[in-house]
Amino acid sequence: MTIPCDILVFGGTGDLALHKLLPALYHLYREARLHTAVRIIALARRNLPRNDYVKLAERHCRAQVARQDFDEDVWQRFSARLDYFPMDAAQSADFGRLARYLGEPGGLTRIFYLATAPKLFVPIATHLRIAGLADSEARIVLEKPIGHSLESATAINEAIGAVFDESQVFRIDHYLGKETVQNLMALRFANALLEPVWRNGQVDHVQISVCETLGVENRGAYYDRAGATRDMLQNHLLQLLCLVAMEPPSQFEAEAVRDEKVKILRALKPITGQDVQDKTVRGQYGAGKIGGQEVPAYYFEKDVDNDSDTETFVAVQAHIDNWRWAGVPFYLRTGKRMARRSSQIVIQFKPVPHELFSGGQVNQLLIQLQPDEHISLRMMTKSPGKGMRLAPVELDLNLAQAFAQTRRWEAYERLLLDVLEGDSTLFMRRDEVEAAWAWIDPILQGWEEHFQAPRPYPAGSNGPEQANSLLARQGQAWHA
């Protein structure tokens, strides 16, 4: 059981709060992971009576929680800990009302979860300080993205740092809460079989792909300002790259782990000038079919400018300048309205020194993050019958089957529990965020300077054809 606390969710009527945070907190409460004195207070501008908000929360929790897992008795107890406080996060006076409503802490830790637009991060933190709510025991959780450039991220970090100590700040990336992502660390650092080959001598290249079939849905206004690079590459994909490439930390402890991740980000070779054209590809989806249904082009989506040049797809060839990875290309790819939903990491090993048998070589480690979580090692073996005909087979670890009797935690359950326990291992440190932006900014600037417009690709495809050339030049192809 965690510490007694008040969990205040700014943006309490938004999709993140209703679809992810409240169901996660419900599960934690059901498993007795929350202190009996916990209060969960949703804050938003809508003037809702508490009972109406509880009904809204119940409707969304029922929709998100598996039917057999929704316990009516647990919900009644959980909802008794749930409250709603209407306020405008941009108005300082409303924080005075909030302080009076909360009263004295009385030993409670206050956790402020900012499930809001990033432009509200600094005003909310500042108003919390003025209202006397940002004490030394408080914690603040920030959703990505942290800024839209190195300059803006630094400004946000400095403003937040003027109110909260770095140890009180939890910058969340929900990908790091996924079971398979954490299994990546176990796979690397708990298995002597892999460590000797996890380096440039044996690895040909690495692919990291996060592909979605969805479009921008109701996020058009935000997405048209951000694009795939700021929305996905700067955080999710670079975080996965860090976990694949980092050196073993001296111990499994927050600062040691984050130190190694920062080293990788700082070792990324800058992509500038002509390299931006050679090593990156931007794309934007046009009309097409997803699951047999016609979908519109990006520029016809709600709240998107009709002449928008925002990228919905980006692919990058990255290199890490250190001893372990010198000469190994890392191919990063993410896109919307792709042929299939899939997040995966592919470690492609080099061929054996001498090819004794015909039939090709496909030695690779596949780490599938979604939709199914599994890890498989593809190896060559002899096909039954006469002769030495080879065929690939998979040594497969299906995590759902291997732990069939254990409920699979959602990413936000694990991350919220870590916040409650004060464990920042799976959260981004300030220098980590800024190091990522320092690598991304020159790419964005290069596109602008060289007028590199997004390449069109039809919805339901694998992205623009130009992305294939990143690997084709090395005689490779994206993993299907």
> For position 175, what pLDDT does the model report?
85
Strand-strand pairing, 109-114 and 139-143: parallel
Whether pLDDT at 126 is above 70: yes
The string of pLDDT tens digits covering residues 273-326 is 889 999 999 999 999 999 889 999 999 999 889 989 999 999 999 999 999 999
Q: Which amino acid is at 283?
A: G
- What pLDDT score does 186 carry? 86
Q: Which has the closest alpha carbon to 31: 404, 409, 400?
A: 409
Give per-residue pLDDT as tens, 73-124.
999 999 999 999 999 999 999 999 999 999 887 788 999 999 998 889 999 9
Give the burial string for 189-220 (b: 16+ CB within 10 Å, else e).
Answer: beeeeeeeebeeeebbbbbbbbbbbebbeebb
What six digits make up the tokens of 115?
């499930």
Q: Is 45 annotated as a binding residue?
A: yes
Query: Is 236 known to be catalytic?
Result: yes
Between 137-151, 203-217, 348-362, 465-479, the lowest mean confidence (pLDDT) is in 348-362
Span 410-426, mean pLDDT? 93
Q: What is the CA radius of gyration of the chain?
A: 24
Residue range 243-280, pLDDT digits in tens = 999 999 999 999 999 999 999 999 999 999 889 999 99
User: Model-level pTM?
Assistant: 0.92
What pLDDT, on a 0 to 100 scale, did the predictor assign at position 192? 87
pLDDT at 394: 78
231 labeled part of a ligand binding site: yes
Task: Tell me if 179 is assigned to a ligand binding site.
Answer: no
Q: Which residues contact 94 (CB under 8 A, 6 or more apart)?
A: 87, 88, 127
pLDDT above 90 (res 183): no
Asked whether residue 68 carries a pLDDT value surpassing 80, the answer given is: no
Marked catalytic residue, from 127, 148, 236, 374: 236
Residue 123, judged by CB atoms within 10 A of its CB (0-12, 13-18, 19+), counts as middle
Q: Which of 367-376, 440-449, 470-479 is the most confident on average?
A: 440-449
With a pLDDT cut of 90, the percent of the chain lying above it is 68
Look at residue 408 and tell me whether its pLDDT is greater than 80.
no
Tell me: is residue 94 an annotated ligand-binding position.
no
pLDDT at 17: 94
In angstroms, rounded to a whole number, what is the distance separating the alpha carbons of residues 61 and 413? 14
pLDDT at res. 360: 62
pLDDT tens readout for residues 440-457: 999 999 999 888 889 999
Q: Tokens 């000797």 correspond to what residue?
A: 196
- pLDDT tier at 43 (50, 70, 90 boundaries)? very high
Distance CA 153, CA 392 (A): 46
Of the pLDDT bands very low, low, confident and very high (cuts 50, 70, 90), residue 42 is very high
Is residue 382 marked as binding? no
> Please, what is the average pLDDT of the chain?
91
